[in-house]
Structures are given as C-alpha cells and as structure tokens.
Amino acid sequence: MREPGSRRWLVARILRPLASASRAVILVALAVAVIVPITWAISSSFMKKAEFVSIPTHWWPREPDATAYQRLLTEQHFPRYYLNSIIVSVVVAVSSTFFAALTGYAVSTKYTFAGKNAFFAFILGTMLLPFELIVIPLYIMMRTFNPLNTYAAVIIPGLLGAFGVFLLRQAINDIPNDFLDAGRIDGAHEVVLFARVVVPMAMPVMAALLVFTFVGMWNSYYWPLIVINDEPKRTLTLAIVYMQGFYAVDYPLILVGAVLGSVPIMVVFAFAQRFFIRSMTLSGLKG
C-alpha cells in the first residue's frame, strides 16, 4: 500500500490525472475523426454542384438547396434500391444468425457426435479463404441453378458464415451445463433445449452478430455487382456507384444517396449498441 508522502504516492498522484487527460484527448480525437466526415457529407448534400467543386472548399452551403434530395427521389429508383437493400440485408442477417446458432450449438461442448472436431476445423478453415478465391465457383453455381438477377443470387452465399459459427460456439460453451442437464433429465428434446435454454442465454451475442451481418450486407458491393445486372434489382450501394456519369460526377446527388443510405446503419447501431459489450464478454473475445 502506498503511504501518503512517499515517492510512489507522489508519482501516482501525478500520473493519474495525466492518464485521464490522455484518454480524454484520444476519445475526442476519435470522435472528431468520425463526426467531421459525416457532418461534411450532410452539409455538402445541400450544396449546388458549382459550389461543391469550387475552390476553396466550403464547409457549409451558402444557400442551402435540397434539389439533390428531390432529384434522387424522383429521377432515380431510389425507393426501390432502398427496398432491395433492406430485403437482402434483413434476410441474410436473420438467416445467418439462426443457422450460425444451430451450427454453433452442434459443434460446441454441449453436444457430441462423431467427427465434430473435424467438422468444426473445416468450418474454421473456410475463414482462411479469401472471397476472391471462391467467387468464380459461386458464380458458376448461381448460373447453373439460374438465380442470377434475383434476390436469391445475393442472399444464398451469405446464409451461413464461419465467423458467426465461431462466435456463437464460444458463447454457447460458456452456458452452464447444469441448465442443459436439468432439461435432459426432464426429458426435453435437443430442439427444445436449443430454443428454451441456448437461444435466450446466447441472445446478446446473437443480437451483435445480427447487427454485424446486417451492416456487412448493407455495405456489400462486390458480389451484387457480379450477379445483378438489371437496374430495378440493384442494391443501394451498387446503385450509388452507378450514379456516377461517364463524363461528369454529380457529387451532391451521390452524397445524398450516401447520407440516406447510412440512416439504417445508424438506427441499428443506436438500438443494438448495448449488446456489443455483453457479446464480447459472453463470447470469450476479451482483451
């Protein structure tokens, strides 16, 4: 124990405020790095094209103009692009979380079957494969079964992810065996144990995985670009890229699409941020 007036006590009294000030400075710097680009994008979306490309750059529009918002909603199929992204992202997020929970429970320490460890090792091995390596086989598969230019072509590759299986397996391993053993003694089937014991106790991790998957699918560009050719079937991220002209770029229009496209992500994070800390603790991903 440090005695008042000792050298260690004096050092601690000096370093403690410095550490708190350093943390505050770092947090403020990170907040500024996030807030400034968002603020600039929102303000620039209310600029006219001539003002946007003027030099020096303006941080605030001299005469706010909402014409770009009107053009996006009337001249572009923006509501349809928005709906496409919502359908694809929600279906992939929900199905991927559900299947990851089922698979995570099967390969966890709570359930035993022949070849379980080899099966889990195979799942983890797929995480080492870059998407660019499997994109051609995936495209051939989609072309063979003929779901190109459909929601299915975008959704099928994301129905199950190895990271989700790993994350939920870690969370399910931390569930006390007493709950499952008590259910088995009472004659509960494994499906009942999964629905009434595993899912409620792993819900924070499942919610976090749901958010991660939704955001990743919402921002997905590479795979929809390959399998979607018809304009009405484009997702929002893909449509924003196609808003660029061949000879000129309408920056305010693109910024409006980016600003409106980020709204669902902000809403999802606002409602689900409380699950993140709990999910990192329950899944074993601790610092």
Residue 60 DSSP one-character state: S
Give pLDDT, residue 246: 61
Give pLDDT, residue 1: 47
CB 68 within 8 A of CB 252: yes
Give pLDDT, residue 96: 92
* pLDDT higher than 70, residue 10: no
- Average pLDDT for 29-35: 88
Cα distances (Å, whole numbers) of residue 194 to 148, 183, 275 = 35, 10, 20
- How many Å from the N-terminal Cα to the C-terminal Cα in the chain? 27
Helix-helix angle 203-218:162-173, to 10 degrees: 170
Contacts of 98 (CB under 8 A, 6+ apart): none
pLDDT digits (tens, 9 = 90+) for 74-119: 877 888 998 999 999 999 999 999 999 999 888 888 877 888 888 8
Whether the predicted model's global pTM rises above the 0.85 cut: no
From CA 246, how far away is CA 253, in angstroms rounded?
15
Helix-helix angle 78-106:67-74, to 10 degrees: 70
Cα distances (Å, whole numbers) of residue 96 to 104, 137, 252 = 12, 21, 35
Q: Indicate the range of 12-16, 136-140, 164-168 predicted with least confidence.
A: 12-16
Percent with pLDDT over 70 in the chain:
88
Give pLDDT, residue 31: 87
- Average pLDDT for 32-45: 85
Helix (H) or strand (E) holding 93: helix 78-106
Report the CATH number of the 67-282 domain.
Answer: 1.10.3720.10
CB 164 within 8 A of CB 209: yes
Give pLDDT, residue 264: 86
Q: Indicate the range of 41-55, 126-140, 211-225 predicted with least confidence.
A: 41-55
**Secondary structure (DSSP) of 144-206:** HH--TTSHHHHHGGGS--HHHHHHHHHHHHTS-HHHHHHHHHTT--HHHHIIIIIHHHTHHHH
Helix (H) or strand (E) holding 97: helix 78-106
Tokens for 223? 């795979």
Q: How many CA atoms lie within 13 A of 222 on its CB side?
A: 11
* pLDDT higher than 60, residue 285: no
Q: How many CA atoms lie within 13 A of 139 on its CB side?
A: 13
Give pLDDT, residue 92: 94
